[in-house]
Structure 1
């Protein structure tokens, strides 16, 4: 059964806006759909125009408290592939049928259980727009050729073909803009200044996750910075305590 696709006005609604990724990893104290829903509402109150949400359960919980456009995805770790973001058409269809306006999926060139074109068809045939998470310009071009509606830089830095770096991949953003490929900027955007820079570089929308919704990650950043500072200098006052 096919479903009518949402109007592309969904993308217009998100143009130049902030999308907040509201996710918690397995084992996190926040790994509870009720907490995810509360974080989503807080993000909406703060001005988020859309939300990126992991799992059918979280999508249900968030949809119950927010009417913002949702980017849905799953994270399924398998032994036969490194592709874990929405790796199968069945998972993609479920998210679309739950009301996600966009469904994100891994569109990298790594060995995959299902071709990108098959994933796009499953998403669009179930009534959602296909958001291809990529790590390189070549992957973005291939995903668009396979019918994706828009791409995301979410996987840059997490595949063998992309640069490992602490900063966002601004070079990929520049390349996507030069190629005329619509994209959501995502990945290691930790400050408002970095988010604004991504928009200046041509991002259709900017997705921020850890810096807003993962206090455990933010705490690690501060703790690590203080450890590094302590190793560099020890003040006379500190030594006396």
Structure 2
């Protein structure tokens, strides 16, 4: 657990950059994500969040930073797609990521289980692995901490039916969580400016993940193009 504590200490009050591109996006490529992570490191990032074993492996060859790993997988009949089953967790453990992030919402998982049923099995199987709970509500994050997740994130606020339409970043949710929880609270989702990031740290977050505002040029370009006649 000393290694786990060291990983958490490395990201304390630091910026984590999400380097991800899905198959339908122009930057989809382990090669590109590795370079993206390298650029983030040179720019001052202290951690990387990445999707898929292929991207993670490439990123690990380019930067020596704490890595939050996920595997996005769509299963029929379920809206849970961020590390949705034990199969994806097992893959990430075998690859060797510092922190495994997974959907910790109250939604039913592809195998029919709930997070309350699945996570104790994972914790028992991998007692020394750090886990991050991607949550959408206050209640989900509190429950995740009680289940034994090592850190909780606001990642899915605004992306579930229960939170659809919420203004992001979700300052209200994050403020409530930092006031209540003893485990690290990681702000993630909709952080668009340095000013927003600063405000989140003032609320007492442990660290923050910024993705689209840094690593998705297609989305960034759209914002500028929208104001051009």
Distance 1:178 1:159, change over 3 A: same
Find the residue that maps to 1:60 and give its secondary structure: helix
C-alpha distance in 2 between matches for 1:39 and 1:120: 35
Partner of 1:192: 194
In our comparison, the structure showing a higher alpha carbon Rg is: 1
TM-score if structure 2 supplies the norm length? Answer: 0.92
C-alpha distance in 2 between matches for 1:96 and 1:193: 35
C-alpha distance in 2 between matches for 1:146 and 1:167: 26
C-alpha distance in 2 between matches for 1:25 and 1:85: 13
TM-score if structure 1 supplies the norm length? Answer: 0.88
Partner of 1:161: 162
C-alpha distance in 2 between matches for 1:94 and 1:102: 13
Partner of 1:122: 122
Conservation of the 8 A alpha-carbon contact between 1:189 and 1:211: yes
Query: 1:163 Cα shift?
Result: 4.8
Q: Calculate the aligned-residue CA RMSD, in Å.
A: 1.7
Structure 2: where are the runs of 5+ without partners? none
The correspondence of residues 43-62 of structure 1 with structure 2, limited to 5 A, is: 43-62=40-59
Deviations 1:19-44 (Å, cap 9, x if unpaired)? 00000122111000000000000000
Find the residue that maps to 2:162 and give its secondary structure: coil
Query: 1:65 Cα shift?
Result: 1.1
Deviations 1:64-105 (Å, cap 9, x if unpaired)? 111100000011111121000000112112112212110000
Structure 1: where are the runs of 5+ without partners? 231-241
Distance 1:203 1:50, change over 3 A: same
Higher mean displacement: 111-120 or 180-189 = 111-120
Find the residue that maps to 1:27 and give its secondary structure: coil
Query: 1:123 Cα shift?
Result: 6.0
C-alpha distance in 1 between matches for 2:124 and 2:164: 31
C-alpha distance in 1 between matches for 2:160 and 2:145: 19
The count of residues paired between Structure 1 and Structure 2 equals 224
C-alpha distance in 1 between matches for 2:114 and 2:90: 15
Conservation of the 8 A alpha-carbon contact between 1:14 and 1:205: yes
Find the residue that maps to 2:209 and give its secondary structure: strand
C-alpha distance in 1 between matches for 2:49 and 2:2: 19
Distance 1:210 1:124, change over 3 A: farther
Conservation of the 8 A alpha-carbon contact between 1:93 and 1:122: no
Higher mean displacement: 29-38 or 215-224 = 215-224
C-alpha distance in 1 between matches for 2:30 and 2:120: 27
Report whether the alignment pairs 1:74 with 2:71: yes
Conservation of the 8 A alpha-carbon contact between 2:15 and 2:210: yes
C-alpha distance in 2 between matches for 1:82 and 1:220: 27
Query: 1:9 Cα shift?
Result: 2.1
Find the residue that maps to 2:101 and give its secondary structure: strand
Partner of 1:222: 224
Find the residue that maps to 1:176 and give its secondary structure: helix
Q: Where do 4+ consecutive residues of structure 1 move more than 4 Å? A: none
C-alpha distance in 2 between matches for 1:93 and 1:5: 22
